[in-house]
Amino acid sequence: MTTENRHLEAYIREQGLAEQMIPVVGSLYRDRGVIVTVFGRKLMNGSTIDILKSHKLSNQVVGQNITVEDTAPILAAIEAIRPGSSRIDIGKLAHKALQAEIPVDSPDKLSEFLQNEFSNIPDSISVMDEPRDVVLYGFGRIGRILARLLIERTTSANPLRLRAIVVRGGRDGDLQKRASLLRRDSVHGPFNGDIVVDEDNSAIIANGNLIKVIYANQPEDINYTDYDIHNALVVDNTGVFKDEEALGRHLVPNGASKVLLTAPASGNIKNIVYGVNDHMILDDDLIVCAASCTTNAITPVLKVINDKFNIVNGHVETVHAFTNDQNLIDNYHKADRRGRSAPLNMVLTSTGAAKAVAKALPELAGKLTGNAIRVPTPNVSMAVCNLNLGINTTRDELNTYMRDIAFNSNLSQQINYSFSREVVSSDFVGTPEPAIFDSVATLVEDDRCVLYVWYDNEFGYSTQVLRVMQHMVGLHIQNVPG
């Protein structure tokens, strides 16, 4: 057999195994609330190629080549065990089994190994007794991505149910236009599923989810119970209401019980960066803020750098995609420089992200400054962190530390790690982690370093918002292996 044929036959064999995994992954999520991953990459709704590509991370993550021939038996055994709601990394489990010399072709020994790994997972398919209603107040960039995420995750095991969106009163055809914007996106591509407009009930039906479209100019104008919505988590993604008094208006209507803001808050509202200070969310917190996209990108990275190297001070410069707050062509804007054409200019402006870090990490208060440059790209931004450290280090030491954090810590859902010398901003569209550490670009000189952190300021941020939503309603999913 020629080398060419060997490679092709191996690929076809692995492709066949990956195809067999797809319905099992779907069934485990739909019926048991089990999220299957391979080295942190979710397989749910993925293709055969997605599954094969996920396994390519194995050498970087665990230093060993793990293929679908190793993980397919693990997945089959999990299907037989039918554990409760959890997030299970079959790549890491396969590596752990190989290290323990557990033969994957021995169902009994493999089952015993997995039963031990699953000992702390509840048997129930959901960690909550009943679904929780969600209302999106506003339906802009973040609102529509949140809608996609909520709809994609709708199962008997997922308690969050998107019940309504609230927008200002529109003209004829408004409902069709709202549905069209959900169906098609110039940056994130088409909606993965089916969307039907129900004009009679003023609703959008997306993948079987009936979502009421409520027209209101003020929060107080709504009675959610009129729409059979109760105990709802209202997610304000308008950015109009920012302090406790203004956001408290969302709690006036019957049927609303908690509020989450998807923008920086003012006053004493808790600014949460999930993975860093989500432990601050208490059951009786009625109003919580998910901070900004930039704060969610830089805070996890700054936390782990400070934990090991002690940040003395630093400056964070964000190279940020333009937003709909800017003008398409030159026009009046209340802020300096932002009135100039967004697609034609780099626009130097301010950012509160560096100071906002201190709300999640008080130990960095007064140590960071920040500015922003808006650039002519619609999505994916970069933070350049120029830091003075308390100890000397090297580029290799710092990068190795960040790689371990990204793949083997409780911040693996917040920090991604890039090895490539060829990636550019568009390669990170749709990245679920709010921060992507560019290891190739790292600069270190004794006690000084410059770190480059990419982030999808729309999708990556929205996944963080979703995690805060889950925490606020009491949904906590265990990771296996722990």
pLDDT bracket for residue 179 (50, 70, 90): very high
Query: Residue 372 and residue 458: Cα distance in Å, rounded?
Result: 17
Tell me: do 64 and 150 sit in the same domain.
no
Q: Which residues of 16-34 are buried (b: 16+ CB within 10 A; e: fewer)?
A: ebbeebbebbbebbbebbb
The pLDDT of residue 1 is above 70? no
Are 204 and 298 in the same domain?
no
Helix, strand or coil for residue 434?
coil
Q: Give the model's confidence band at 158: pLDDT under 50 very low, under 70 low, under 90 confident, else very high.
A: confident
Predicted confidence at residue 311, as pLDDT, reads 98
Please indicate, yes or no, if residue 282 is contained in any of the structural domains.
Answer: no
Q: Does residue 108 carry a pLDDT above 90?
A: no
DSSP per-residue codes, 140-162: SHHHHHHHHHHHHT-STT--EEE
What pTM was computed for the model? 0.94
For residues 382 and 346, the answer to whether their CB atoms sit within 8 Å is: no
pLDDT tens, residue by residue, 376-416: 999 999 999 999 999 999 999 999 999 999 999 999 999 99
pLDDT for residue 154 = 87
Q: Is the confidence at residue 182, as pLDDT, over 70?
A: yes
* Whether 327 and 231 share a structural domain: no
How far is residue 462's CA from residue 144's CA, in Å, rounded to a whole number?
10
Give residue-wise pLDDT tens across range 326-350: 999 999 999 899 999 999 999 999 8
Whether 293 is a known active-site residue: answer yes
336 is a domain residue: yes
Q: CA–CA separation, 263 vs 236, rounded Å?
A: 9
Taking residues 450-468, what's their average pLDDT?
Answer: 98
**What confidence score (pLDDT) does residue 148 get?**
98
For the chain, how far is it from start to end, CA to CA, in angstroms? 43
CB 466 within 8 A of CB 390: no
Query: Does position 451 have pLDDT exceeding 90, yes or no?
Result: yes
pLDDT, tens only, 202-248? 999 999 999 999 999 999 999 999 999 999 999 999 989 999 999 99
At residue 97 the predicted structure's pLDDT band, cuts being 50, 70 and 90, is very high
Q: How many CB atoms lie within 10 A of CB 6?
A: 10
- Euclidean distance between CA atoms 313 and 368, whole angstroms: 6
Do residue 341 and residue 254 come from a single domain? Answer: no
Considering only residues 172 and 272, tell me which one the structure prediction assigns the higher pLDDT. Answer: 272
Are residues 453 and 320 part of one domain? yes
Q: Is residue 474 in a domain?
A: no
pLDDT at 129: 65
161 & 255 share domain: yes
Residues 165 and 101 in one domain: no
Asked whether residue 223 is domain-assigned, the answer is yes
What average pLDDT does this structure show over 22-36? 92
User: Where does a domain end: 117, 150, 165?
Assistant: 117
Greater confidence, 328 or 354? Answer: 328
List, for residues 67-88, the tens digit of each pLDDT value.
Answer: 999 999 999 999 999 898 899 9
Locate tokens 């060997």: which residue?
6
Q: What is the mean pLDDT of residues 47-72?
A: 92
Contact 429, 380 (CB under 8 A): yes
Domains identified in the chain, total number: 3
Structure tokens at 420: 């490539």
Confidence of residue 125 (pLDDT cuts 50, 70, 90): low
Q: Between 388 and 127, where is the model more confident?
A: 388
Quick one: how far is CA 99 from the chain centroid?
Answer: 31
Count of residues in the chain: 482
The distance from CA 250 to its chain's CA centroid, rounded to whole angstroms, is 25
Taking each helix axis from N to C end, the angle separating 459-472 and 293-309, rounded to the nearest 10 degrees, works out to: 80
> For residue 122, is pLDDT > 80?
no
Least Cα distance to 204 among 161, 244, 175, 224 occurs for: 175
Res 126 pLDDT > 70: no
CA dihedral 191, 197, 201, 204 (to 10 degrees): 0
Check: CB of residue 418 under 8 Å from CB of residue 440. yes
Q: Does residue 150 belong to any structural domain of this protein?
A: yes
112/136 same-domain check: no
Question: Phi/psi class of residue 202: alpha, beta or left (left: φ > 0; alpha: ψ in -120 to 50)?
Answer: left
Nearest of 109, 92, 111, 89 to residue 101 by alpha carbon: 109
Residues spanned by the domain of 328: 294-457
pLDDT band at 288 (very low <50, low <70, confident <90, very high): very high
- Choice among 289, 293, 385, 449 that is catalytic: 293
Q: Which residue among 224, 248, 263 closes a domain?
A: 263
Among the residue ranges 32-41, 256-265, 441-450, the one predicted with the least confidence is: 32-41
Which CATH number fits the domain that encloses residue 445? 3.30.360.10
- Calpha distance 49→197 (Å, rounded): 33
Query: What is the pLDDT averaged over residues 430-435?
Result: 97
Within the chain, how many helices (H) and strands (E) appear? 13, 21
Helix (H/G/I), strand (E/B), else coil: 211 = strand
The rounded distance, in Å, linking the Cα atoms of 308 and 301 is 11
Is 455 buried (19+), middle (13-18) or exposed (0-12) by CB count in 10 A? buried
pLDDT digits (tens, 9 = 90+) for 130-139: 889 999 999 9
CATH of residue 194's domain is: 3.40.50.720
Quick one: 159 and 31 in the same domain?
Answer: no
The answer on 373 and 231 residing in a single domain is no
pLDDT(127) > 60: no
Q: What is the mean pLDDT of the chain?
A: 93
pLDDT band at 33 (very low <50, low <70, confident <90, very high): confident
Residue 441 resides in a domain: yes
* Residue 386 belongs to some domain of the structure: yes
- Looking at the structure, tell me whether residues 57 and 173 fall in a common domain: no
Q: 415, 457, 121: which is closest to 319 by C-alpha?
A: 457
Between 7 and 97, the higher pLDDT residue: 97
Determine the pLDDT at residue 482: 77
The last residue of one of the domains, among 79, 94, 117, is: 117
Same domain, 96 and 153: no
**What would the DSSP string read from start to end of 448-461?**
EEEEEEEE-TTHHH
Burial 339-373 (b: 16+ CB within 10 A, else e): bbebeeeebebebebbbbbbbbbeebeebbebebb
DSSP codes joined into one string, 21-69:
HHHHHHHHHHHH-EEEEETTEE-TT--HHHHHHHHTTHHHHHSS---HH
Is residue 310, in this structure, part of any structural domain at all? yes
